[in-house]
């Protein structure tokens, strides 16, 4: 099957419709950081409409040879029985943005388990070029933690996961943490240095007040997909105690370094927030899942949004985090100023007041009454910080969500050499909503952003990908030992 690969003439659209694509250079000018890469797709942006349904990118992963993966969800036919459902989706692309037809079926792998909701949230390649996918996989009427493993050609790796016929395995594994009728959802995946797989997300737990609340959960699997019962006091998984008592905790990510690895000694750094409580959290665990008492208080740091002297402080939500080369932690979230807010913490969990303006920096595009929402964070090899999400754009009158990418210098100062001169790029592709969920720095130093876009009078969403010119710092060429086909 061949899929529709739709490219948008961004510059032409911007001129015709009066839309904004931040910092598009005039044809006679050399490209500078924040400009779309015109060698990618059509003028830097592409979308894929695979099945004419709801499809979106949740994560992107560059490879050393310029190819890259984009993973998320597509709505497609059920593997068994009639109808359709949301399926795990992993696509591989060539450097120019064309689908790589040597992978899976014309560039796209998608998986339905039993007609329920399945989706991918994280992807990592291993030294043998196989692909691990952190996924939420359905079982009957509820969702479970899941890991899918693909060979380099996009086929299921039948040496991994749950038993199948004979000595074969299914290529995926599921773990029911909460029990029947409880949804468990995977948010992030990482591998430890010995190849064991960490999966993190949320489950629901019945509290003493009689309500079910989400809590952070982690599981560990062996390299072949067996549950590792040396983790979590023999269970193979653990559910973290609540951060604020009888309230819902929401995990948003595992902090990885710029090469996609855990921090020193395989310690696990988790970020998220407590729903509707104006409280965000960071937790650091040792490799075995025990609290790291060298971080914060008993392995935890909490952050609250507030106001001091008329200036916003802290954040109420943490959306993403990255481990810098010096061991410090960069986090992305939002607070009272409704923009993309970044903070930095030392390796011991102490807030770094030297970062940005007194330890905090917010980059906002929209009106003060509108929201710009953070989603993803990446670090360049030269220390620059890239954040992505959406901005509320009123270029056409009505408020619309559009791809939003900002860049800071390593010290938290606005990178005035990026985008519109205020460290910002806003990409409006259609007159409907577009939103970025993922960001990565490619080995070339260019910036890859993924999410979805909607089209006027068309139901559903499409995979959307944007490449911006970054810095030619070749971030992975000397020290990156991760994915690649070269």
Q: What would the DSSP string read from start to end of 286-352? A: -TTS-B-TTSTBTTEEEEE-EEETTEEES-SEEEEEEE-TTS-EEEEEE-TT-SEEEEEE-TTS-B-
CATH at residue 308 = 2.120.10.30
Tell whether 484 is covered by a domain: no
Q: How far apart (Å, rounded) are the C-alpha atoms in residues 331 and 329? A: 6
- Calculate ∠ Cα 218-221-224, nearest 5°: 160
Cα–Cα distance for residue pair 305/363, rounded to 1 Å: 16
Span between the terminal Cα atoms of the chain, in Å? 28
Cα separations in angstroms, 373 against 159, 178, 215, 266, 367: 41, 30, 23, 30, 13
Examine residue 477 and state whether it is found in any structural domain, yes or no: no
Whether 270 is covered by a domain: the verdict is yes
Residue 481 lies in a domain: no
Q: Does residue 474 belong to any structural domain of this protein?
A: no
- Where does residue 297 rank: exposed (0-12), middle (13-18), buried (19+ CB within 10 A)? exposed
The CA–CA distances, whole Å, from 421 to 23, 362, 408 equal 8, 15, 11
Token code pair at residue 386: 């890239």
Give the integer Cα–Cα distance in Å for 377 and 262. Answer: 15
- Give the total number of structural domains in the chain: 1
DSSP E strand stretches across 346-423: 360-363, 373-379, 385-393, 400-408
> What's the pTM?
0.93
**Within-domain flag for 479:** no
For 163, the domain range is: 4-468
Report the alpha-carbon distance of residue 34 to residue 220 in Å, rounded.
39
pLDDT by residue for the chain (486 residues), tens only, comes to 556 554 333 433 333 333 344 443 334 456 899 999 999 998 899 999 999 999 999 999 999 999 999 999 999 988 877 889 999 999 999 999 999 999 999 999 999 998 999 999 999 999 999 999 999 999 878 999 999 999 999 999 999 999 999 999 999 999 999 998 999 999 999 999 999 999 999 999 999 999 999 999 999 999 999 999 999 999 999 999 999 989 999 999 999 999 999 999 999 999 999 999 999 999 999 999 999 999 999 999 999 999 998 889 999 999 999 999 999 999 999 998 999 999 999 999 999 999 999 999 999 999 999 999 999 999 999 999 999 999 999 988 899 999 999 999 999 999 999 999 999 999 987 789 999 999 999 999 999 999 999 988 888 899 999 999 999 865 544 444 445 544
Indicate the Cα dihedral angle 170, 204, 228, 142, nearest 10°. -10
Q: Looking up tokens 């989603």, which residue turns up? A: 375
């Amino acid at each position: 099957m061949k899929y529709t690969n739709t490219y948008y003439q961004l510059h032409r659209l911007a001129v015709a419709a009066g839309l904004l694509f931040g910092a598009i250079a005039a044809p006679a000018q050399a490209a500078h950081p924040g400009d779309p890469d015109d060698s990618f797709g059509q003028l830097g942006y592409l979308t894929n409409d695979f099945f004419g349904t709801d499809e979106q990118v949740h994560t992107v992963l560059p490879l050393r040879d310029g190819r890259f993966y984009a993973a998320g969800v597509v709505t497609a036919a059920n593997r068994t029985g009639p109808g359709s459902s949301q399926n795990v989706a992993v696509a591989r692309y060539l450097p120019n943005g064309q689908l790589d037809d040597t992978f899976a079926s014309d560039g796209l792998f998608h998986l339905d388990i039993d007609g329920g909701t399945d989706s991918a949230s994280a992807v990592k390649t291993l030294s043998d070029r196989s692909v691990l996918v952190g996924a939420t996989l359905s079982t009957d009427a509820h969702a479970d933690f899941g890991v899918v493993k693909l060979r380099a050609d996009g086929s299921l790796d039948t040496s991994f996961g749950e038993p199948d016929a004979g000595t074969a395995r299914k290529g995926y594994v599921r773990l029911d943490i909460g029990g029947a009728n409880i949804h468990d959802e995977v948010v992030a995946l990482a591998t430890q240095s010995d190849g064991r797989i960490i999966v993190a997300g949320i489950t629901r737990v019945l509290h003493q007040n009689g309500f079910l609340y989400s809590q952070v959960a982690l599981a560990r699997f062996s390299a072949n997909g067996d549950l590792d019962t040396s983790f979590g006091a023999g269970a193979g998984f653990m559910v973290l105690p609540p951060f604020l008592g009888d309230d819902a905790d929401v995990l948003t990510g595992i902090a990885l370094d710029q090469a996609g690895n855990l921090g020193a000694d395989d310690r696990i750094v988790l970020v998220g927030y407590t729903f509707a409580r104006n409280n965000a959290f960071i937790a650091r665990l040792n490799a075995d899942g025990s609290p790291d008492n060298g971080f914060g208080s008993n392995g935890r740091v909490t952050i609250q949004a507030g106001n001091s002297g008329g200036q916003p402080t802290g954040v109420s939500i943490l959306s993403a985090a990255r481990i810098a080369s010096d061991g410090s932690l960069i986090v992305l979230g939002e607070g009272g100023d409704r923009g993309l807010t970044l903070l930095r913490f030392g390796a011991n969990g102490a807030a770094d007041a030297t970062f940005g303006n007194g330890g905090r920096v917010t980059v906002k595009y929209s009106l003060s009454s509108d929201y710009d929402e953070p989603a993803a964070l990446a670090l360049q090899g030269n220390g620059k910080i890239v954040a992505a999400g959406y901005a509320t754009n009123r270029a056409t009158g009505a408020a619309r969500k559009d791809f939003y990418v900002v860049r800071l210098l390593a010290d938290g100062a606005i990178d005035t050499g990026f985008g519109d001169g205020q460290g910002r790029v806003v990409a409006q592709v259609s007159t409907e909503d577009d939103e970025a969920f993922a960001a990565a720095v490619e080995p070339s130093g260019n910036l890859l952003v993924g999410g979805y876009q909607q089209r006027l009078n068309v139901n559903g969403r499409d995979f959307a990908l944007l490449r911006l010119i970054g810095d030619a710092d070749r971030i992975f060429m000397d020290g990156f030992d991760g994915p690649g086909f070269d």
